[in-house]
Amino acid sequence: MTHIAMPAVDEAVIGRRDEIVAGLVAILGAEHVIATEDERRAYETDALTAYRAVPLAVVLPGSTEEVSKVLAFLNGTGAKVIARGAGTSLSGGALPSEDAVVLGLARLNRIVDIDYANRVARVQTGVTNVNITNAVAGQGFFYAPDPSSQLACTIGGNIAMNSGGAHCLKYGVTTNNILGLRMVMLDGTIVDIGGSECDAAGYDLLGLVIGSEGQLGVVTEATVRILRAAEGARPMLMGFDSAESAGACVAAIIGSGIIPVAIEYMDRPAIKVCEAFAHAGYPLDVEALLIIEVEGSEAEIADLIARITGIAEAFKPSTLRISQSATESAAIWKGRKSAFGAMGRIADYMCMDGVIPTSRLPEVLSRITAICEGYGLAVANIFHAGDGNLHPLVLYDMNDPEQLEKAELAGGDILKVCVEVGGCLTGEHGVGIEKRELMSEQFTQVDLDQQMQVKSVFDPGWKLNPAKVFPLEGRPAVSA
């Protein structure tokens, strides 16, 4: 029995399913409405696979105008609406309910315009993260945020959760790389927020919408920054005999004022699994591994590597290897980018997501190990060490309900530690259902009330992704 509760479903809405499906078919045509139970079941969960529910229906609109018509219709039915990108959410952000219609972004997959002179691109939000870079790489540009799921995840999902990635240490997360959005409100109203300029007129609402987890509206288009690629980049590997030494080394590098493109961390269990999958040449005799990448001209790269190596000497790395070729660099990153999938070959896991001050890394890593050992569970740590965005993988057997509950409790304790040391509950995965009941660890009820008031302005009936983000207790009363 899992311990994350879900709100009661509206049986009256479920009873009107045929009527609602007929209305959706009238708008989109039968080919873009998924109504049979077998086909709907494909949308019953996201990457938080411990939870699932077959939605009322699934719709696949192909334009902003179709999204508007669908939402305006659903607004009068009482059905909830769950926007869904690629379903890669690790916090249950795209988890549906039986009285909800899933609005999939898959057909909103066009890159509308690329403006190299002003370094922006306008894209529909069903475009996958990596395909923005693929579209502009030929001209020497790239889109900076790069979640590990970038081959699959969509810009819409990235906007909902304010996703980051390995290279966000230097270039920032999604909110730092978006200039404008087109969003459809629940009543069908289409609004434009921001624009293609650095400072658009009017209130700056981008920061409100980015990271709002689909609770304020459905974003259908985004204007993103594209950046000129650096002259070159080179990763290096550093192995350490203890997690504490690796963590202290990260804190020292950041404390020195050096900002590499990325600093990624793996512990021994993760190193072993990733090396077996990618054959990247990771050292197998160390307790912790750092992947540190720097970029620039050859002179800049050499200078940064020398300075970082000098800082690391105080922490006695047992292995230090600098990539010597593009092939070697690709292999190093292949191991890191495929880490979560590779870990799934040996165990079920819950991938946690919290942020801490980098100065507290050694202490927090020790406490994570102690927490998981206390529940009789193993843990593998793979995360963005440079900005303190932790991703402990709590290993368990999904077929054992007791282990699942222990994994959830261990994950909750880890997130409480993150808040305790001055961090926060999420760096890039969002709150979803996973961290919903932990929000009171970070926010007072006054804080939560203010946030919920904002949601109520955009969504008075709480129909947009309503089971997520806010604790079930203490929510405002809303009319059906």
In DSSP terms, which residues pair with 111 in a beta bridge?
123
Average pLDDT over residues 320-337: 90
Would you state the pLDDT for residue 407?
A: 94
Q: Return the pLDDT at 150.
A: 92
pLDDT of residue 197 exceeding 80, the answer is no
pLDDT tens across 350-389, in order?
999 999 998 888 899 889 999 999 999 999 998 888 888 9
> What is the spatial distance between Cα 313 and Cα 229, in angstroms, rounded to a whole number?
31
pLDDT at residue 400 greater than cutoff 50: yes
In this model, does residue 20 exceed pLDDT 60? yes
Please name which of 383, 368, 385 lies closest in space to residue 312, comparing C-alpha atoms.
385
Q: What is the dihedral of CA 446, 205, 431, 63, to 10 degrees?
A: 140
Q: What angle do CA 16, 18, 24 make, to 5 degrees?
A: 105
Per-residue pLDDT tens digits for 205-242? 999 999 999 999 999 999 999 999 999 999 999 999 99
Give the chain's largest Cα–Cα span.
69
Choice between 49 and 81, residue whose per-residue pLDDT is larger? 81
The predicted pLDDT at position 344 comes to 82
The answer to whether residues 184 and 217 touch, using CB atoms and an 8 Å cutoff, is: yes
* Span 108-138, pLDDT tens digits: 999 999 999 999 999 999 999 999 999 999 9
CB 293 within 8 A of CB 326: no
pLDDT in tens, 198-213: 777 778 899 999 999 9
Q: For the whole model, what pTM was predicted?
A: 0.93
pLDDT surpasses 80 at 141: yes
- What pLDDT is recorded for position 479? 62
CA angle, 91 as apex, 260 and 214 as ends, to 5°? Answer: 95
pLDDT category at 300 given cuts 50, 70, 90 is very high
